[in-house]
Amino acid sequence: MSTPPPPSPNRRLERVAEQIRRELSEIIRREFNVGDVGLLTVNEVRVAPDIRTATAFMGFVGTAAQKRSVPEKLHGHAPHIQILLGGALRLKWTPVLTFVLDESIERGNRVLSVLKELEGQSPDSGSPAA
């Protein structure tokens, strides 16, 4: 009986990124008060091929003042988050994290609102198309 081939490096990176995303989501849920920083979600984690660094793309819902303070708070808590993450992961190294606010949801909401505005301004559907 032969053993299965080892997972491809890309598949391993995907698994590690997903594990980091899940653990990081839980850490952020426990460590940050929604009243202070708004609602933070970990949308995606991208891991470097050597698994020594990772970028966490953070979703945000809250006030403008909270949004301005989030990067500073995440950066300030990064060493503590790193320690907690290292305790939760079974990896040779704990990746050094970089946090980036992911504004894709906001951009999507703006596009949807523009489409709704255009839809409201469009001629009646009964008129012939030009």
Query: 79-103 burial by CB neighbour count: b if 16+ within 10 A, else e?
Result: eebeebbeebbeeeebbebebeebe
pLDDT digits (tens, 9 = 90+) for 11-44: 888 999 999 999 999 999 999 888 888 888 899 9
**CATH superfamily of the 9-120 domain:** K homology (KH) domain (3.30.300.20)
pLDDT at 89: 87
C-alpha distances in Å from residue 54, one per residue of 11, 94, 114? 16, 9, 34
- Whole-structure pTM value: 0.72
- Ordered by start, the domain boundaries in the chain are 9-120
